[in-house]
C-alpha cells in the first residue's frame, strides 16, 4: 500500500444527512467529470484524490461517460482505488451513473433496463469495485417508460450492485413521479443531482421544494460554473484552465466569457474579499447556506483547488445585506 490517509481527516469536514436516509455526505464532495481522463496525468489525479480524502471528502462522484474518452475516468479511478484506497472502501461513498451515450447501437444510451444494467456491470469492472454506493439515472428519457427505468434502479439494488439509487437532471414534476415510483418499489430515492450555481438557479423554482417535501437529498454540480465563479478568468484565459484546454463533452468554452459575465464576476469577487474568502469559497458557501442541499460536488484540476474548496465550509453564513447585494449583481 502506497498511501496512508491523514488521521485527522474527519475533523476537517462537516457531514449532512441525505434526506431521511441513514447516509451522511460531506459538505464538499469530489467529482471526476473532467481532469481524470486519458489525457490527464495520473499522478496529479492520485494527488487530487489523496488531498480530498485527507480532508474528509468521503464521496467521489463518477459516471460511465466521464473521460475523455468515455469510461476513462472510471478506469483511472479504478487504478488509483486499487493502488491506494482499497483499505478504505467502507469509508467511501462512490457513485456512478448511466443515461448519456456510452456505446453504439440502440442499447447504449438513455434509460432502458438493458442499458442501465449492462452499463453498471461495465462501470464496476472499470472501477474494480464489487458495488457502487449510489447509482444514478443520469438524465430523464422521454421515450422509455419511467416505470421501466425505475424498475431497473430497483433491480440493480436487489442484485447488490448498488446500495442506493438517485436521479439526475430530472425537473420537479418528473422527479416527484420517479421518487413516488421508487418508494412503491421499496427502493427509496436517496438523492437528486442537479446543476446549481449563482449563475444557474433553476432548482430554486420548484425542485428544492419537492425534494424537501419528499425527504430526498440534493447534491449540486457545476456550482463554480465550471470555474467561471473563481478569480481565474478575471485577467484572461489561462492555458491550463478548462477553457484554455479546449475540452469537449459539455465543457465550458470561450464564448461563455462575455464582458457582462466578467463584470459580474468582478463584483462578486469584491464581496468575497470583504468576507475574507476567495470567490470560489463564497460560491460554494452560497450553495451550502441552504440546508436542503446535502453536498456540493466540486471539480478540481489541482490538489490546491480541493484544499481551497474545503476551506469554504468555515463560512457559509450570509447577512441579508450580502445576499441582497449578490442578488442585485445576478439580476
Ligand atoms: P465546478 O463548477 O466545480 O468546476 C470545476 C472546475 O473549476 C475545476 O476543474 C477547475 O477548473 C475550477 N476550479 C475549481 N476550484 C477552483 C479554484 N479554487 N480556483 C480556480 N479554479 C477552480 O464543477 P464541474 O462542472 O467540474 O462539476 C463537478 C462535478 O459534478 C463533476 O466532476 C461531476 O462529478 C458532476 N457533474 C454532474 C453532471 C450531471 O449531469 N449529473 C454534469 C456535470 C458535472 P480548471 O480545470 O480550469 O482548473
Q: What is the pLDDT of residue 246?
A: 87
CB of residue 40 inside a 6 A radius of ligand 1: no
In a domain, 1, yes or no: no
pLDDT value of residue 1? 57
Q: Is the CB of 31 under 6 A from ligand 1?
A: yes
N-to-C CA span, the chain: 52
Cα–Cα dist 269/17, whole Å = 31
Q: For residue 133, is it within any domain? A: yes
> 4 lies in a domain?
no
> Is the shortest distance between the CB of 32 and ligand 1 below 6 Å?
yes
The residues, any chain, with a CB within 8 Å of residue 184's CB and separated by 6 or more, are none
- Output the residue whose Cα is nearest ligand 1's atom 7: 227
Please work out whether the CB of residue 108 comes within 6 Å of at least one atom of ligand 1: no
- Domain presence at residue 206: yes
The answer, yes or no, to whether any atom of ligand 1 lies below 6 A from the CB of 95, is no
Task: Please tell me the distance between residue 74's alpha carbon and the centre of ligand 1 in angstroms.
Answer: 17
Looking at the CA of residue 35, tell me the nearest atom of ligand 1: 9
Please give the chain's pLDDT, 331 residues, in tens.
589 999 999 999 999 999 999 999 999 999 999 999 999 999 999 999 999 999 999 999 999 999 999 999 999 999 999 999 999 999 999 999 999 999 999 999 999 999 999 999 999 999 999 999 999 999 999 999 999 999 999 999 999 999 999 999 999 999 999 999 999 999 999 999 999 999 999 999 999 999 999 999 999 999 999 999 999 999 999 999 999 988 878 898 999 899 999 999 999 999 999 999 999 999 999 999 999 999 999 999 999 999 999 999 999 999 999 999 999 999 9
Residue whose Cα lies nearest atom 32 of ligand 1: it is: 31
CATH number of the structural domain spanning residue 151: 3.20.20.100
The domain of 20 spans 9-330
pLDDT reported for residue 121: 98
The protein residue with its alpha carbon nearest to ligand 1, atom 14, reads: 300
Q: pTM for the whole thing?
A: 0.98
Query: How many domains, in total, are found in the chain?
Result: 1
Let me know the angle formed at the C-alpha of 325 by 31 and 304, rounded to the nearest 5 degrees.
Answer: 30
Residue 298 beta carbon below 6 angstroms from any ligand 1 atom: yes
Q: Is the CB of 64 under 6 A from ligand 1?
A: no
CA–CA separation, 198 and 268 (whole Å): 10
Pocket flag, ligand 1, residue 192 (CB < 6 Å): no
80 domain-assigned:
yes
Q: Mapped to the 3 state alphabet, what secondary structure does 196-243 carry?
A: CECCECHHHCCHHHHHHHHCCEEEEECCCHHHCCCCCCCCCCCCCCCC
- Ligand 1 atom at minimum distance from 278 CA: 18
Neighbours of 11 (CB within 10 A): 9
- Closest by alpha carbon to 107, among 155, 64, 44? 64
Residue 75 lies in a domain: yes
In a domain, 3, yes or no: no
Instruction: Identify the burial level of 57 via C-beta atoms within 10 angstroms of its C-beta, where 0-12 means exposed, 13-18 middle and 19 or more buried.
Output: buried
Question: Is residue 297 lining ligand 1, measured as CB closer than 6 Å?
Answer: yes
Q: How much of the chain is in helix, strand and coil states, percent to nearest 5?
A: 45, 15, 40
- In DSSP terms, 98 is beta-bridged to 137
Does some domain include residue 144? yes
Amino acid at each position: 500500500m502506497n498511501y496512508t490517509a491523514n488521521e485527522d481527516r474527519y475533523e476537517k469536514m462537516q457531514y449532512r444527512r441525505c434526506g431521511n436516509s441513514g447516509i451522511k455526505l460531506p459538505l464538499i464532495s469530489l467529482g471526476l467529470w473532467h481532469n481524470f481522463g486519458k489525457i490527464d496525468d495520473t499522478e496529479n489525479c492520485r494527488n487530487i484524490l489523496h488531498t480530498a480524502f485527507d480532508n474528509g471528502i468521503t464521496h467521489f462522484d463518477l459516471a460511465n461517460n466521464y473521460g475523455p474518452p468515455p469510461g476513462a475516468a472510471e478506469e483511472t479511478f479504478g487504478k488509483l482505488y486499487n493502488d491506494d484506497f482499497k483499505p478504505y472502501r467502507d469509508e467511501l461513498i462512490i457513485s456512478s451513473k448511466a443515461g448519456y451515450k456510452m456505446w453504439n447501437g440502440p442499447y447504449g444510451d438513455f434509460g432502458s433496463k438493458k442499458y442501465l444494467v449492462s452499463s453498471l456491470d461495465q462501470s464496476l469492472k472499470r472501477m474494480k469495485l464489487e458495488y457502487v454506493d449510489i447509482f444514478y439515472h443520469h438524465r430523464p428519457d422521454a421515450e422509455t417508460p419511467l416505470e421501466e427505468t425505475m424498475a431497473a434502479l430497483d433491480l440493480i439494488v436487489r442484485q447488490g450492485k448498488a446500495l442506493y439509487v438517485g436521479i439526475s437532471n430530472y425537473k420537479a414534476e418528473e422527479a416527484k413521479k420517479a421518487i413516488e415510483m421508487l418508494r412503491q418499489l421499496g427502493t427509496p430515492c436517496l438523492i437528486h443531482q442537479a446543476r446549481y450555481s449563482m449563475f444557474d438557479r433553476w432548482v430554486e423554482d420548484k425542485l428544492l421544494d419537492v425534494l424537501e417535501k419528499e425527504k430526498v437529498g440534493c447534491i449540486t454540480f457545476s456550482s463554480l460554473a465550471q470555474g467561471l465563479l473563481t478569480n481565474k478568468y478575471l485577467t484572461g484565459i489561462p492555458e491550463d484552465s478548462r477553457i484554455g484546454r479546449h475540452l469537449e463533452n459539455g465543457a465550458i468554452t470561450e464564448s461563455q466569457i462575455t464582458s457582462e459575465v466578467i463584470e459580474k464576476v468582478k463584483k462578486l469577487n469584491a464581496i468575497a474579499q470583504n468576507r475574507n474568502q476567495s470567490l470560489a469559497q463564497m460560491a460554494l458557501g452560497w450553495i451550502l447556506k441552504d440546508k436542503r442541499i446535502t453536498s456540493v460536488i466540486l471539480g478540481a484540476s489541482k490538489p490546491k483547488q480541493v484544499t481551497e474548496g474545503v476551506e469554504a465550509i468555515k463560512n457559509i453564513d450570509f447577512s441579508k445585506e450580502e445576499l441582497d447585494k449578490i442578488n442585485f449583481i445576478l439580476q
